[in-house]
Amino acid sequence: MDQKSAMLADEECSTSGRLSLVVPTYNERANITGLVAAVSRVLEGLDWEIIVVDDDSPDRTFEEVRRMAVQDHRVRCLRRVGRRGLSSAVIEGALAASGEFIGVMDADFQHDERILGVMYRKLCDTEADVAVATRYDGQGGVGDWNAGRQAMSRLATWVSRLVVGGRTTDPMSGFFMFRRDLLDDVVYDLSAQGYKILLDILASARRPLRVEEVPFVFRVRTEGESKISAMVIAEYATLMIEKLSHGFVPGRFVLFCMVGSLGILVHMIVLWASRAAGVGFEEGQLMATFIAMLFNFGLNNEVTYRRWRLSGTAIYGGVVAFCAVCSIGALANVSVAELALTELGSWPLAGLSGALIGGVINFSIADNVVWQVARRRGRASSLQLQRMQPNAYRPEGLRG
């Protein structure tokens, strides 16, 4: 499709509702000006706005956006300070949008802006709730990805389809458009973690959705760097576990266990180092336990509880509470392991049972005590909103 054919000078569509395009950015200074120019060209004739949600990029992408916003009021900049996360950036941008239709696309030109018009038309000409730009149907494709990335993407797409069924060929797509009332329906149920916001929306909807697809070929990034990391992959895995277990196993619990496993590694390294330095076993064990607890607290605060991260002086209270919680978990661990050893007679099984029970107890208490104040604050604001919208779904943590 050429650029002209995708333009939207069409009268019928131009009066059908504003399109708000949400573009999350992190260090996209080299791309953002060109992207806004390209998008405004293809959306000519349509009532549109672009909301760039920038997480205080070190390359100061937000300054570029503000400069454009001064010249064109359809361009808006939402700068988030002390926050990171693609999904939460998209949700907050969409909540700030004024359009009846909301589009989401990356800033790095990998998403072909020339199909925006077709996606918009799919929504306004049909009863569709979502229009997904897909890499896995018809003329779509993943471009120049190497075999490893292709295989990973295929596997992740297959797993995602276990969660959302066959509603779309590309639930992992970051390029899509939807009606604003869909967001209002699902906003309390979104996990808002990680990269895969379309998947989150589709999995959270409690009514059958009509999904239309538009194929496109994923382009190669030419400017700036990818933000895909081990953390992004871990977040994807936890999102899948949470959705597949229908919320029974919270994503936070999975991350908490991963952090705990790393904590054991830290413990063993410190113990080994202290023994090598001639420190006695008991002193070494005490030191290793304390350092591992500090490590676990820090990593959980940065990763598992990123959204409710403790900062400033609250950190001190958090460390003390976390160490106290871990002592309760450790006590339960040892007691259960002793009991299991007597009953089962197998030390690996006994050790595993103790670790599992200790982990569950640590998580339950830490989740409700250490990060409780920040989480309660989040819940309270959700409840306040819910009272204003009685038909909205109940926020996370308050479901029956």
Under the binding rule (CB under 6 A), the answer on residue 86 touching ligand GTP is yes
Nearer to Mg ion among residue 110 and residue 193 (C-beta): 110
Minimum distance from CB of 84 to ligand GTP (Å)? 4
* One residue of 53, 132, 205, 336 binding ligand GTP per CB under 6 A: 53
Fill in the DSSP letter of residue 308: G
Nearer to ligand GTP among residue 108 and residue 129 (C-beta): 108
| Binders in 124-183 for ligand GTP, by CB under 6 A | 174
Binding segment toward ligand GTP, per CB under 6 A, in 36-44, 103-111, 113-121, 288-296: 103-111
Fill in the DSSP letter of residue 213: E
Asked whether the beta carbons of 74 and 167 are under 8 A apart, the reply is no
Under the binding rule (CB under 5 A), the answer on residue 31 touching Mg ion is no
Nearer to ligand GTP among residue 39 and residue 288 (C-beta): 39
Contacts of 71 (CB under 8 A, 6+ apart): none
Cα-Cα-Cα-Cα torsion 21, 228, 382, 198, nearest 10 degrees, comes to 50
Residue 275 binding: pick among ligand GTP, Mg ion, none (C-beta 5-8 Å cut-off by kind): none
Question: Which residue in the block uniquely carries the two structure tokens 């070929």?
Answer: 217
Under the binding rule (CB under 6 A), the answer on residue 92 touching ligand GTP is no
| Binders in 84-123 for Mg ion, by CB under 5 A | 106, 108, 110
Nearer to ligand GTP among residue 228 and residue 344 (C-beta): 228
Residue 85 binding: pick among Mg ion, ligand GTP, none (C-beta 5-8 Å cut-off by kind): ligand GTP
Spatial distance between the Cα atoms of 364 and 316, rounded to a whole number of angstroms = 20
Q: Is 50 helix (H, G, I), strand (E, B) or coil?
A: strand
Under the binding rule (CB under 6 A), the answer on residue 97 touching ligand GTP is no
* One residue of 4, 67, 221, 376 binding ligand GTP per CB under 6 A: 221
Single-letter residue type at 154: R
Binding segment toward ligand GTP, per CB under 6 A, in 6-14, 49-57, 121-129, 160-168: 49-57
Q: How many residues sit in the footprint of ligand GTP (CB under 6 A)?
A: 20
* One residue of 5, 146, 226, 384 binding ligand GTP per CB under 6 A: 226
User: Where are any strands of DSSP class E within the chain?
Assistant: 19-25, 48-54, 75-79, 101-104, 130-134, 176-179, 211-215
Binding segment toward ligand GTP, per CB under 6 A, in 106-114, 150-158, 181-189, 247-255: 106-114
Minimum distance from CB of 303 to Mg ion (Å)? 22
Single-letter residue type at 76: R
Neighbouring-strand partners of residue 20? 49, 102
Neighbouring-strand partners of residue 131? 177, 212
Neighbouring-strand partners of residue 22? 51, 104
Q: Is 336 helix (H, G, I), strand (E, B) or coil?
A: helix
Minimum distance from CB of 139 to ligand GTP (Å)? 20
Asked whether the beta carbons of 16 and 41 are under 8 A apart, the reply is no
Under the binding rule (CB under 6 A), the answer on residue 228 touching ligand GTP is yes
27: nearest Cα among 49, 57, 6: 57
DSSP-derived pairing of the beta strands 19-25 and 48-54: parallel
Single-letter residue type at 3: Q
* One residue of 47, 49, 64, 106 binding ligand GTP per CB under 6 A: 106
- For Mg ion, the binding residues (CB under 5 A) are 106, 108, 110
- For ligand GTP, the binding residues (CB under 6 A) are 24-26, 28, 53-55, 84-86, 89, 106-108, 110, 174, 221, 226-228
